[in-house]
Amino acid sequence: MIYDDLGVPRIINAYGTNTRLSGGLMAPEVLAAMAEAARATVEMHHLQAAASREIAKATGAEAGIVTSGASAAVLLGAAACMARLDPGAMNRLPDTRGMPDEFITTRSQRNMYDRALRVAGGRIVEIGIPDRVSGPGVRDAAPWEIADAITDRTAAIYYLAGTNSEPPLPDVMRVARERHIPVLVDAAAQLPPAENLRRFIAEGADLVCFSGGKALGGPQSSGILAGRRDLVSSALAQMLDLDMPEADFIAPAEFAPLAQMRGLPHHGIGRSCKIGKEELIGLIVALQRFIAQNPEHRSALWQARLEAVLAAARHPANLHFIPDGAKPGLPTLEWRLPDAATARAADARLRAHRPAIHLDAGRIGQGVLAINPIAFDDSDAALLGAAIKECLA
């Protein structure tokens, strides 16, 4: 195997599709499509137009593009909300002279991925005091506080989708609609459940970002930006290589708003977000597979993989299922150890195993290690269970 040839140790990744652990695995059909894509060349805007049709079908959005990840999608979405269809503004970014550049977000939704807004040139305006999070109170940001923060400098509202996100997106949308401000949703890790592919668009979001390399099962360096046609078209213009005679560029119907631009930007702020044809095809085939597969069937396959781990570990009393583990529809095994120190020792021991085993250590401080089925294969389930059994002995 290529990793052996290069002297890189293979791991069993039961943590999840984390970037640090190289994400997950890709299905043979996805890999075959990528290999086929590498054997011919096309014009990238034609390929993105085809991607747009597939993303529109899967999400209900007007348009979509494939980017080099969800973080890239946030960056491009931010650039689109600031520059709109003005090629001069596109060429100036990240210098935001003469354009709205503020992204309003609630303090409780701040996260280290939101710097993609700043990379594009945006500035973050925080609102609300989340004392439900800090403890002394029960409130978070209210929609009227978002309304209060909107000025003519506002480019968009940035919304981090999550189970605890406040205020609920439909309430944020009411404020945004009234004031004609777009809402950019980071839903990178919100799959499963599969309904979330359509949910944020259905709730009115102007732009939504998903990771291709998480549960979708696409390439690790792929992502989706879906939403309003004018904004997605702007994002595309800021990622494509448009270094060509302007008259030669004919905007595909999927990105028709590009035809209204008074000129074309050069390599835009999104140049580093570019996706190759092979990865774009990989993501689209992975997306088609994801929507074709019945969610119950997908959960059952994950469940069976974890059952095999449990059987190989000989069903210890402290290893049990949480059916809707990390996310709805994602069965997870939870291993409860007496305390944090024991959990840390077990985790270290599994990481010292050959091949190294990485469990989800998100709650290691509470003495819990979890086994996420997405990023390892059925063929590793027995090995994983046996290593846990050894650890318990």
Ligand X SMILES: *Cc1c(COP(=O)(O)O)cnc(C)c1O
For residue 230, give both structure tokens. 């004018």
Handedness of CA 229, 232, 238, 241 (dihedral sign): negative
* 245 residue type, one letter: P
Q: How far is the CB of 111 from ligand X (least distance, A)?
A: 6
Tokens 């059916």, residue located: 323
Is the CB of 113 or the CB of 249 nearer to ligand X? Answer: 113
Give the integer Cα–Cα distance in Å for 235 and 215.
Answer: 24
Q: How far is the CB of 69 from ligand X (least distance, A)?
A: 3
Is the CB of 187 or the CB of 381 nearer to ligand X? Answer: 187
Is the CB of 113 or the CB of 321 nearer to ligand X? Answer: 113
Is the CB of 164 or the CB of 342 nearer to ligand X? Answer: 164
- For residue 368, report the phi and psi dihedrals to the nearest 5 degrees: -115, 130
H/E element, 359: strand 356-359
Q: How far is the CB of 388 from ligand X (least distance, A)?
A: 27
CB 239, CB 245: distance < 8 Å? no
Q: How far is the CB of 137 from ligand X (least distance, A)?
A: 25
Is the CB of 69 or the CB of 265 nearer to ligand X? Answer: 69
Is the CB of 71 or the CB of 105 nearer to ligand X? Answer: 71
Using CB under 6 A, which residues numbered 96 to 115 contact ligand X?
Answer: 113
What is the total count of residues that contact ligand X (CB under 6 A)? 11
Pairing status of strand 368-371 against strand 330-336: antiparallel
Is the CB of 76 or the CB of 155 nearer to ligand X? Answer: 76
Using CB under 6 A, which residues numbered 58 to 87 contact ligand X?
Answer: 69-71
Q: How far is the CB of 88 from ligand X (least distance, A)?
A: 29
* 58 residue type, one letter: A
- Reduced to 3 states, what is the DSSP secondary structure of residue 141? coil
Q: How far is the CB of 271 from ligand X (least distance, A)?
A: 16
User: Among 19, 134, 272, 342, which residue sits at the site for ligand X (rule: CB under 6 A)?
Assistant: 19
Using CB under 6 A, which residues numbered 194 to 233 contact ligand X?
Answer: 211, 213, 223
- Reduced to 3 states, what is the DSSP secondary structure of residue 323? strand
Alpha carbon 13 to chain centroid distance?
A: 19
Q: Which residue number places its CB atom closest to ligand X?
A: 69
Show the binding pattern over residues 232-271: x = contacts ligand X (CB under 6 A), - = does not.
----------------------------------------
Q: How far is the CB of 226 from ligand X (least distance, A)?
A: 14
Give the integer Cα–Cα distance in Å for 125 and 62.
Answer: 28
Give the integer Cα–Cα distance in Å for 74 and 259.
Answer: 24
Q: How far is the CB of 71 from ligand X (least distance, A)?
A: 3
Show the binding pattern over residues 172-191: x = contacts ligand X (CB under 6 A), - = does not.
--------------x-xx--
Is the CB of 20 or the CB of 180 nearer to ligand X? Answer: 20
Residue-wise DSSP of 52-107: HHHHHHHH--SEEEEESSHHHHHHHHHHHHHHTT-HHHHHHTT--TTS--EEEEEG
For residue 281, give both structure tokens. 């095809």
Interface residues toward ligand X, by CB under 6 A: 19, 69-71, 113, 186, 188-189, 211, 213, 223
